[in-house]
Amino acid sequence: MEKLQYKLENFEGPLDLLLTLVAKNKIDIYDIPIAELLEQYMEQIDLMREADLDVASEFLEMAARLVYIKTASLLPRQEDEEDPRMELTGLLLEYQQCKAAAEKLKTLAAFNTVTRPAEELPADFIYKRIHDPRELRQALRAAWGKGKSLMPPKPESFSALVSARIVSVASQTVYVLRTLWKRGSIAYRALFAGKDERSARVAVFLALLELVKNRRVRVEGDGDLCEVKLMGREKA
Amino acid sequence: MSIEELTGQAEAILFASGEPVALDRIAQVLGVRTAAAEKMVSALQDKYNTPESGVHLLMLGDSAQFCTNPAFIEPVRAALDLKRNTPLSQAAMEVLAVVAYNQPVTKAFVEQVRGVDCSGVVGSLVQKGLLEERGRLELPGRPLLYGTTENFLRCFQLESIDRLPPPPGEGEQQEQEEDSDDGEDDGPEQITLDV
Amino acid sequence: MSIEELTGQAEAILFASGEPVALDRIAQVLGVRTAAAEKMVSALQDKYNTPESGVHLLMLGDSAQFCTNPAFIEPVRAALDLKRNTPLSQAAMEVLAVVAYNQPVTKAFVEQVRGVDCSGVVGSLVQKGLLEERGRLELPGRPLLYGTTENFLRCFQLESIDRLPPPPGEGEQQEQEEDSDDGEDDGPEQITLDV
């Protein structure tokens, strides 16, 4: 038999290699000389190993299968028993058809048209389903009270445990504005006079920031000269 | 090459690109002057820009772009499933209910009632046209207020917001299990939260 | 609504979608029978599918899709900086062939025919939009089934999957040995298959 010059990676798999051997040796696929085929197949595998190439497990599996078929065909067979080579014949025929079909497809492949990306249209989000109004009542009932168990406890709920009073920013906003309405302006430090608790001082400071942001008051100067003025009502 | 064929090539290029294509670019690829590309595009505009055409060719500065005839946007949206009409989630329904019965309310109020962050849900209800902003609360941070929309009334088959079914809790005793007849409109009372 | 306007709407839908759109879908959105949608698409095909037109309208199975005129592929590639489609590998062709002729099939079936693992190839064909999942087989392990896509039909110039050439083995005798044309650069003509 003729030596093959192919490399294993040129084959799509063991069936491809077997088909090549079959074609090369003009083997009748319906009457495979299994011993010869096995010998050639193993030669290819050995060549690969000599070349230090990884032989894919599928090739080794097929080798085992060929050995099995060879052994089985040496044993005497009952008349109604199938020739163990027939399964291999079936596999090879099927793969042969697959290759032929691939060749046919290749002649059709064109890849000569380009399609268009979908147009990006703004979606219409407006909700249009119709509901029973009673669903709202049910939903409200479901929502109700969920909060009490899930929300972090409000600061007030600690008031009994914590001696420090919590001073709200809102109350200090009122304090700052009231002071300024009376006096027009006040020294920054004076604003904190009498605010002994830290909570109160923080609240005054936050209230001041808020008022500055909303352009209700202005802070001028720095250090000890820093002054807070009510806007739109400045004195000369 | 014939002018028809060149125009067809320009058409193919414009079609395949989803984005505007500069006339310069068309001219360069087809090996013609920009003026010629301009003429081709203008011929294509004559061909496409009719009232019955599904596709129009727009000039945007020195670029051209195919787009859908705006007159046909609705069937296109329907076909492309751009109508986001998945039913409301339970979370969305609850937020909607809390707002509907207490409007105008801040997001913080809704979150306090439900005990979970609602930013995403509120945003999507606004996008769906079920909630709308209603100014700000004059408190530090000036939080946004939300209320329900006309579209909300339509979706819940309400003539006006006064026609909301009575809230649970009040008049619960008269209320038989399921027959909450909608006629009983004892109205718009606000639920007061005891927190 | 006039038939011209409806046809314009169908045109707009096909254009905006980019993807193949089922005739059923068009009919449903426009509120007409599928036969009417078919007529409209056929009228659009008459309008578009001329040798000088830059845009062609293809039927792919029961769907229609706009694409560029194959004759103008070169300028389109140049303008859009598209690389030539790398031709499919032998392995990919074989997997496509097995699926195309036997669909829907499992990967295991393909592997049995080819005698090698095909996961990578199948995955990349799905990614290329040539194969798609088609549900699962009700067998232990519920393996995925695969079939070819409308994109496959377009790339292989088939109007529908029925137009695949007869499988090898059947009707082998009518088949001439000759044609070694690779289909790739033999120009604009759509290959028509006589089946």
Position B177 scores a pLDDT of 41
Cα B72 from Cα B81, distance rounded (Å): 14
Q: Residue B80's closest CA among C42, C5, C19?
A: C19
- For the cut 90, the answer to whether the pLDDT of residue C34 exceeds it is yes
- What does the pLDDT average to over A111-115? 87
Kindly tell me if the per-residue pLDDT of A99 is higher than 70.
yes
pLDDT of residue C170: 54
CB A126: neighbour CB atoms within 10 A?
15
A220 three-state secondary structure:
strand
Which residues of chain B lie closer than 8 angstroms to A154, CB-CB?
195
Is residue C173's pLDDT more than 80?
no
pLDDT score, position C193: 36
pLDDT tens column, A149-191: 555 555 544 444 444 567 888 888 888 888 888 878 888 888 8
CB contact under 8 A, C12 and B54: yes
Hey, what are A2's tokens? 């003729």
List b or e across B111-130, with b for residues whose CB sees 16 or more CB atoms inside 10 angstroms.
bbbbbbebeebbebbbebbb
Query: pLDDT tier at A49 (50, 70, 90 boundaries)?
Result: confident
* A194 vs A61: which has the higher pLDDT: A61
B21 contact C CB<8A: yes
Whether the CB-CB separation of B102 and B134 falls below 8 Å is answered with no
Sheet holding A217-220, edge to edge: A185-187, A227-230, A217-220
Q: Is C67 helix (H, G, I), strand (E, B) or coil?
A: strand
Size of interface A-C (CB pairs under 8 A): 127
The string of pLDDT tens digits covering residues B6-58 is 999 999 999 999 889 999 999 999 999 999 999 999 999 999 999 999 999 99
Cα separation values, A63 from A14, A24, A36, Å: 9, 19, 13
Lowest-pLDDT range, B20-24, C2-6, C21-25, C181-185? C181-185
Q: Specify the residue for token string 């809790």.
A: B169
pLDDT in tens, C51-76: 999 999 999 999 999 999 999 999 99
Count Cβ atoms within 10 A of the Cβ of residue C187 and give its class: 0-12 exposed, 13-18 middle, 19 or more buried.
exposed
| Residue whose structure tokens are 């830059």 | C54
Give the DSSP letter of residue A225. Answer: G
Task: Give residue C152's pLDDT.
Answer: 93
- For B13, the closest chain C residue by CA position comes to C76
More confident residue, A124 or C162: C162
Among candidate residues B136, B133, B87, B95, the one with its CA nearest the CA of residue B116: B95
Contact residues, chain C, for A12 at CB < 8 Å: 90-91, 94, 114, 116
- For residue C104, say if its preceding peptide bond is cis, omega within 30 degrees of 0: yes
**Sheet with B131-136, edge to edge strand ranges:** B105-106, B144-148, B131-136
Cβ distance of A107 and C181 shorter than 8 Å = yes
**CB–CB contact A147 B88 (8 Å):** no
Residue B69 in contact with partner chain C when CB distance is under 8 A: yes
What is the per-residue pLDDT for B83? 59
Contact partners, residue C116, CB within 8 Å, separation at least 6: A12, A13, A14, A15, A56, A58
Q: Find which of A209-218, C86-95, C100-109 is predicted with most confidence, using mean pLDDT.
A: C100-109
Q: What are phi and psi of A116, to 5 degrees?
A: -105, 140
ipTM for the complex? 0.65
Q: How far apart are CA C96 and CA C101, in angstroms?
A: 9
pLDDT in tens, B99-151: 999 888 998 888 888 888 888 899 889 988 999 998 888 888 888 999 999 98
Pick the range with the lowest mean pLDDT from B25-39, B101-115, C31-45, C87-101.
Answer: B101-115
- What's the pLDDT score for residue B56? 94
Task: Read off the DSSP letter of residue A184.
Answer: S
CA atoms within 13 Å, Cβ hemisphere of C39 = 8
Q: Which of A121, A125, A130 sits opposite B155 (nearest CB)?
A: A130
The chain B residue lying nearest A173, using CA atoms, is B140
- Say whether A95 and C114 touch across the interface (CB within 8 A): yes
For residue B110, the one-letter residue type is V
Residue C148 near residue C160 (C-beta atoms within 8 A): no
Chains that touch C (3 or more CB pairs under 8 A): A, B
Chain A residue numbers touching C100 (CB-CB < 8 A): 101, 105
